[in-house]
């Protein structure tokens, strides 16, 4: 290591904050070769080693520098809840005391981890419990990839995480750089090596960031739609007032051009008497006819003080049949972890709200024409 090029003493760096490209730049800045980044990734993510003294293919001066100026620190699991269906929810605490939630959903041939991107959420979707908590801050890359690391460490070798969905607390595209770096690590062959089709980012429709994502990171895209008119979506997903449906769908079409047969997953929460009519189904068919898509219908999961109720099973089945008959691949998401408040829309964590939304928000009742 060329100590002459070493940076001046500063706050210790958490090396989990860097993807391979970031680590390569870090090591080059120390006068080291870029391949040190690959070596470090292997130690952390494949060997599970976070003690610099044990990284024996690093020189002693380099190890000494890393010990003095860097650390490898994940968030800490402080509470675990296991549902009757095997779904596991962890309350994860960051260094500064914020608490977020991470959920593991086991299935026969895969295990999906639902990862948070923010402490709280800066948006105000009226059907989502997280949104009612307000917003505190973005998570760092280390706190995002750290959720994957502590979850996999907790699960052990017999329960591999095969899929990651950025569908936990927060709007991922409002924490763009940190989320992209974390997803790069999820897909890096020297870290978790997940296929790009097995990493999904969900957005409420931050249109400029959707175009940016298309340019820099090829992962699966899911879009929280939930309404077929701007009038209703303005109420359910208020960011629609800034980026209405026409702009949102154009960004979806742009993303779909990334690869042949690529589809966008649209998520649609089923709210009784709000967005579940036959007219809504026909509106959805018309809306999606120009976008290569598949549709997830999500039975609404209740939370305290919400005025919404879930559509009936008959209404959901009718809705699904109409869409499938129109050629749109439509599935009903199986509710998982409801008995431990780990289902879609139920994650809350512990948020010191900086947006003061908890003082402004009242449950919204939306009238919808039959």
What positions carry a catalytic annotation?
101, 344
By CB atoms closer than 10 A (0-12, 13-18, 19+), residue 352 is: middle
Tokens standing for 87? Answer: 């779904």
Q: Is the dihedral of CA 36, 39, 44, 50 positive or negative?
A: negative
CA distances to 50, 118, 133, 147 from 41, in Å? 10, 24, 35, 16
Q: Is the dihedral of CA 240, 177, 102, 20 positive or negative?
A: positive
Rounded Cα–Cα distance for residues 347 and 307 (Å): 17
Comparing CA positions, the residue from 150, 117, 152, 122 lying closest to residue 134 is 122
Tokens standing for 349? Answer: 């964590």
Tokens standing for 339? Answer: 């008995």
Rounded Cα–Cα distance for residues 269 and 278 (Å): 15
For the chain, first and last CA: distance in Å?
71
Q: Is-contact 275 314, C-beta < 8 A? A: no
Sort strands 118-120 and 76-82 into parallel, antiparallel or unpaired.
unpaired
| Other beta carbons less than 10 A from residue 336's beta carbon | 22
Contacts of 157 (CB under 8 A, 6+ apart): none
Tokens standing for 257? Answer: 């051009």
């Amino acid at each position: 290591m060329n100590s002459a090029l070493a940076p001046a003493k500063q706050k210790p760096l958490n090396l989990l904050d860097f993807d391979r490209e970031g680590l390569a730049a870090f090591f080059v800045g120390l006068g080291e070769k870029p391949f040190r980044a690959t070596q470090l990734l292997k130690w952390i993510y494949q060997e599970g080693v976070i003690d610099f003294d044990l990284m024996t293919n690093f020189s002693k001066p380099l190890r000494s520098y890393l010990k003095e100026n860097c650390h490898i620190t994940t968030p800490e699991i402080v509470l675990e809840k296991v549902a009757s269906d095997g779904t596991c929810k962890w309350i994860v605490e960051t260094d500064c005391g914020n608490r977020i939630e991470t959920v593991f959903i086991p299935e026969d041939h895969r295990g999906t981890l639902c990862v948070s991107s923010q402490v709280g959420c800066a948006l105000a979707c009226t059907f989502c419990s997280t949104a009612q908590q307000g917003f505190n801050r973005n998570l760092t890359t280390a706190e995002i990839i750290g959720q994957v690391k502590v979850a996999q460490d907790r699960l052990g070798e017999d329960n591999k995480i095969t899929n990651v969905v950025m569908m936990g607390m927060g709007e991922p595209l409002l924490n763009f750089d940190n989320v992209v770096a974390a997803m790069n690590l999820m897909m890096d062959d020297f870290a978790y090596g997940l296929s790009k089709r097995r990493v999904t980012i969900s957005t409420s429709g931050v249109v400029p960031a959707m175009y940016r994502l298309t340019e820099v990171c090829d992962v699966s895209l899911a879009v929280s739609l939930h309404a077929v008119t701007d009038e209703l979506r303005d109420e359910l997903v208020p960011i629609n007032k800034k980026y209405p449906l026409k702009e949102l769908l154009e960004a979806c079409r742009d993303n779909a051009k990334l690869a042949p047969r690529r589809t966008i997953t649209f998520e649609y929460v089923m709210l009784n008497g709000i967005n579940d009519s036959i007219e809504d189904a026909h509106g959805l068919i018309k809306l999606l006819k120009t976008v290569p898509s598949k549709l997830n219908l999500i039975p609404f999961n209740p939370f305290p003080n919400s005025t919404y109720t879930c559509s009936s099973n008959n209404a959901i089945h009718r809705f699904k049949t109409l869409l499938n008959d129109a050629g749109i691949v439509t599935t009903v998401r199986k509710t998982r972890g409801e008995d431990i408040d780990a289902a879609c829309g139920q994650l809350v964590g512990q948020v010191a709200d900086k947006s003061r939304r908890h003082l402004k928000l009242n449950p919204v009742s939306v009238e919808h024409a039959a």
